[in-house]
Amino acid sequence: MKIRHVMLLVMILLLSATVANAAEDKYEFKNAERAQTFKELTLELRCPKCQNQNIADSDAVVAKDLRDKVVALVQEGNSKQEVIDYMIDRYGYFVHYQPPVTPATIILWVLPVVIVVLGFGFIVFRQKKASKKQQWSAADDERLEQLIAQYQRKERQQ
Amino acid sequence: MNRKILGFLPFLIFVLLCVFLYQGLFGNPRELQTGRLGQTMPSFNLPDLMDENKRWTEKELLGEVYLMNVWGTWCPTCIAELGYLTKLREQGVKIVGLYYEQAYDPDFGDHFDINALREEVDTMLSRAGNPYQFNILDLERSLALDLGVSGAPETFLVDKEGTILLHHTGDINQRVWRNKFLPALEELQP
Amino acid sequence: MIPEIGYFALVLAMALSLLLCIFPLWGAYTGNLRLMRAAPSLALGQCLFVLFSFGILIYITLTDDFTVAYVAHHSSSTLPWYYKVTSTWGGHEGAILLWLVMQSSWTALVALMSKSLPWVLRARVLGVLGFLGVGFMLYTLWMSSPFERLLPYFPVEGRDLNPLLQDPGMIIHPPLLYMGYVGLSVSFSFAIAALLTGKLDNTWAKWSRPWTMVAWAFLTLGITIGSWWAYAELGWGGWWFWDPVENASLMPWLVATALLHSLAVTEKRGVFKSWTVLLAIAAFSLCLLGTFIVRSGIIVSVHAFATDPDRGLYILSFLAVVVGGSLALYAARVSQVHSEGRYRFASREVALWLNNIFLVVATLIVLLGTLLPMIHKELGLGSISIGVPFFNQMFAILIVPFALLLGIAPMLRWKQNTLSPLAKKWLVNVVLSLVATAAWLFSSYEQVSVLTFMATALAVWIVFSTIADLLQKVSLQTSISEGFKRLGLSYWAMVLGHVGLAFVIASVTLTSAYSVERAVAMKPGDIATLNEYQYRFDGVKEIRGPNYSGHAGVVTVLKNDEFVTELYAEKRLYDIGMQFMTEAAIDDGFFRDLYLALGEQMSQGAWSLRIYHKPYVRWMWLGGILISLAGFVVLADKRYRRRVKKEAQV
């Protein structure tokens, strides 16, 4: 063992002696990223037994089993997507709150876009038609500004 | 003309929606399917419920069509279906039990008593009927997780090659057997 | 005997509602003024009987009459009196009766406040409301009566109210929500009456607008309280889960918000007429659809309401008649409507149209996301789930153009604008918001992701733009006080609504990005550190409430060794249902919430605890309250009401 390691060990021991009563985390991860991955996964995976809950806040046995499995998989170094795929392999798409992209579900993304495009198209079409008969120029604009200014002056004088 | 068609559009969409909503009334939204359908039985190596020296693997189950029934004595519906399953066994259906122990938790695991469980299972099966060829004890629920089991009772239909053909959540009764399992079995024997 | 009186009162109310539906509509159709004149008194009469019936339900609940099935199932003798009252809407039958109370009260209110309306319109509005009343009353009497008896074998003790519902939030959440839902039926009735009359001019928009505003304000408040209740009561620090039940309330809200903006255009400029009518129909239709989704059990939701296919079938039939009928009427009448207003692209009309598109798209996303899992399964394609990741992603995308537009739109004038002077203002605002956001976030947090920054900047942009516009409009007047006075309450409503939304956006962004939590096992004396706070676990003590017992984890919160607060995170076991409930301890603050939930007991005297630090989470509900104030402010606009009256007399 290198001397540096020994020193580190001693330091850790000393530290843990002085703050002996620091609380232990329920799930320990190697780094913050993995902890974050775990947190995200428990929020996005669905408890298959429950009414409509993710595995983070369900007390069902199966939710706890899934949670423990997620911990193990993340600790082994699996990525978020790998854990999701692992769960989908077993529990089907139902287990993930993000729907898969299939010909049947594509409507979820396409329809909103279509409506936005149609809506924009409609208003462009409508306002062109609606403003066709109106001839408005920069001169008119100026005149309008003047009138407004005049009106405001009058108001102020009153 | 164009406007008229456009005006009817909301109505038509609504009618279509109503059709789906009507159908939805008769569906069961909580019925689930494992992601393992059409795949082979995941590999496992687990002890027999009654004898920890006997170990079962997926290979020993090959060669015969069987039902794998996930159950536990803690689950009233499982007990209720034992009678019907026993009838099925008498008709020659091979049923393997996957014992799903809910109380076991490795975090608090010190007070689990396997002998008490065996006794309980014995009394239960002698009273309500024993449909099982044998029971596999999945104490850590690892095979259950691999199969996509979310609770009990659940039943899998597995063919000779070990392919999972069906997954049923909830109890098996005459109606379920006739509508769901028999057609699948008939397809196996043309 | 008393419950039967309650039932009979409902029968009478339904008879009056039936007359309320037939007389005025027939009168309006044949031009018989006497029939039309019967409407207001019928409306008041049915309301009195419904209120009487509801009073009886409260009475039998307070007196613990467990011969009545509803009381036996949803109350108990040990329940505190205020939760006994709450229990009258804690179950399905009672909730529907509460809906009836709201429905008949709104109807009576419309009857009282619509004196300035022409008789034909007034009669039709009340007639349609009467029809809706009949539909719900028939449902109550036929399949969901709260007065049914459990005779001869009745229990000596009730099954108690679901512990989740024993919370102050639950006392006010359903009434507020129902006020909103049912209030939208008034906008709906105005729209149908206008369609029946065939006069879709801006007058109906003018009359409908204040009603819609108030209904929308209640709905906003109801949703806000619901979110707060979930946060405080469900014990995992969440405030929105995109559950079907939440979605069921969000959809009408989104459409009603679109409707408010569209009504403004229709009223002031006489354009978008047919669109506005469609929105008014859609808003209430979505309320009915939401009721169907929630009550029929076709979709799995956290809220386990009693589900029954017969009831579902009735609601679906009612839905089909009401919505199908009105959409058919719409289809038949809409081709006669022509809008004549003229406007350029850079105008307030177009901005409000875009607002409507975004809100409708948002509604569509929620609708698809809620119903597609069911349809997917029906088509034999298997089960899928659509939840938090999907909705969050879609709404995160949608909010960007929406918030940008929201900053720009109030500065636009009707008809048309020259953009160049405005463009300069926008540029200044953009720069200011970016600088302010940078100053805010970088001074508070070490890490700021691009997405968090952009989303926060959007919220700041909305506030700055709103203030800039406000100052600009005030500066046009002689003095500041004069300027503030002249702006008018509907302008102030807009300011409140938009700033409220900015608060919500900022809160959702920051609390999502910077909430931290720890799940720890603690023995007495242990200290857990989270952000700048230390949490010292001082052990658990036994607690005993009126109908529960349990443990409270005592936690002292310290900051730099200085005492901040002491929190009691409870785990309750309710006596009757033997249900465990986590009662989170919350130290609320303007800038952050400290949230503690007690878990299970572990070995060697240790307890598992979840500690959350949630920055700015309270802004969400603050924002919701501001938004709802926008609706109530308009109600106070006397000028508005007077103008309506004057024009009605002409």
Q: Which of C261, C355, C267 is nearest to A119 (CA)?
A: C355
pLDDT of A9: 54
Phi-psi region of B138 (alpha: psi -120 to 50; beta: other; left: phi over 0): beta
**Which residue in A60, A64, A89 is closest to B35 by CB distance?**
A89
B23 CB neighbours in chain C (<8 A) are 378
In a domain, B17, yes or no: no
CATH number of the domain that residue B127 is part of: 3.40.30.10
What are A73-118's pLDDT values in tens digits?
Answer: 999 999 999 999 999 999 999 999 999 999 999 999 999 999 999 9
Residue to substitute from B20, B100, B147, B150, interface A, most A β-carbons within 10 A: B150
Q: How far is A155 from chain B (nearest CA, A)?
A: 46
Q: Reply yes or no on whether the pLDDT at B1 is more than 70.
A: no
- For B168, C556, C559, C619, the CA distances from C564, given in Å and listed in that order, are 54, 8, 6, 21
Q: Reply yes or no on whether the pLDDT at C85 is more than 90.
A: yes
Tokens of C389: 């990741």
State the pTM of this model: 0.91
Stated as kind and residue range, the H or E segment containing C572 is strand C562-574
- What is the sign of the dihedral through the CA atoms of C292, C295, C299 and C303? positive
Banded model confidence at residue A1, pLDDT cuts 50, 70, 90:
very low
In a domain, B116, yes or no: yes
Chain-centroid distance of CA A93 in Å reads: 19
Banded model confidence at residue C639, pLDDT cuts 50, 70, 90:
low
Cβ–Cβ gap C385/A130 under 8 Å: no
Q: How far is A136 from chain C (nearest CA, A)?
A: 10
What span, in angstroms and rounded, lies between the C-alpha atoms of A143 and B1?
Answer: 42
Chain mean pLDDT for chain B:
89
Residue C527 pairs with which residues in a beta bridge? Answer: A22, C536
pLDDT of B72: 92
| More reliable by pLDDT, B134 or A151 | B134
Banded model confidence at residue A133, pLDDT cuts 50, 70, 90:
low
Tokens of B77: 């519906």
Q: Point out the least confidently predicted range of A91-100, B116-125, C189-198, C303-312.
A: C303-312
Banded model confidence at residue B106, pLDDT cuts 50, 70, 90:
low
Reported ipTM: the value is 0.90
Tokens of B84: 């019907």
In a domain, B89, yes or no: yes
Q: Reply yes or no on whether the pLDDT at A21 is more than 90.
A: no
Cβ–Cβ gap A61/B102 under 8 Å: yes
In this prediction, residues C143-169 reach a mean pLDDT of 88
Q: How far is B2 from chain A (nearest CA, A)?
A: 14
In a domain, B139, yes or no: yes
Residue to substitute from A123, A133, A158, interface C, most C β-carbons within 10 A: A123
Please count the residue pairs, one from chain A and one from chain B, whose beta carbons lie less than 8 angstroms apart: 44
In a domain, B170, yes or no: yes
In a domain, B122, yes or no: yes
Cβ–Cβ gap C319/B18 under 8 Å: yes
Locate the chain C residue with the closest alpha carbon to A58.
Answer: C236
Q: Reply yes or no on whether the pLDDT at A124 is more than 60.
A: yes
In this prediction, residues C585-608 reach a mean pLDDT of 90
DSSP A98-140: SPP--TTTTHHHHHHHHHHHHHHHHHHHHHHHHHTT----HHH
Helices (H) and strands (E) in chain B, counts: 6, 7
C527 CB neighbours in chain A (<8 A) are 19, 21-23
* Whether B161 contacts B39, CB under 8 Å: no
pLDDT of B103: 80
SS (H, E, C) B133-155: CEEEECCCCHHHHHHCCCCCCEE
Domain that residue B109 falls in: 38-188
Q: Reply yes or no on whether the pLDDT at C635 is more than 90.
A: no
Chain mean pLDDT for chain C:
90
Q: Reply yes or no on whether the pLDDT at B30 is more than 80.
A: no
- For C230, C390, C585, the CA distances from C621, given in Å and listed in that order, are 12, 23, 18
Percent of chain B with pLDDT over 70: 95
In a domain, B7, yes or no: no
Q: Reply yes or no on whether the pLDDT at A18 is more than 50.
A: no
* Whether A38 contacts A71, CB under 8 Å: yes
Q: Reply yes or no on whether the pLDDT at B126 is more than 60.
A: yes
What span, in angstroms and rounded, lies between the C-alpha atoms of A125 and C232?
Answer: 49
What span, in angstroms and rounded, lies between the C-alpha atoms of C597 and A39?
Answer: 17
Q: Reply yes or no on whether the pLDDT at C648 is more than 50.
A: no
**Which residue in B4, B20, B21 is closest to C335 by CB distance?**
B4
In a domain, B14, yes or no: no
Residue to substitute from C384, C512, C557, C601, interface A, most A β-carbons within 10 A: C384
Q: Provide the domain count of chain B.
A: 1
Q: Reply yes or no on whether the pLDDT at C53 is more than 50.
A: yes
Q: Reply yes or no on whether the pLDDT at C511 is more than 80.
A: yes
Domains assigned to chain C: 1-161 (no CATH), 166-347 (1.20.120), 416-514+622-640 (no CATH), 516-618 (no CATH)
Q: Point out the least confidently predicted range of B11-20, C182-191, C201-210.
A: C201-210
What span, in angstroms and rounded, lies between the C-alpha atoms of C254 and A112?
Answer: 15
Cβ–Cβ gap B34/A49 under 8 Å: no
pLDDT of B165: 93
What are C345-386's pLDDT values in tens digits?
Answer: 778 888 999 999 999 999 999 999 999 999 999 898 889 999
What are C150-161's pLDDT values in tens digits?
Answer: 888 888 899 888
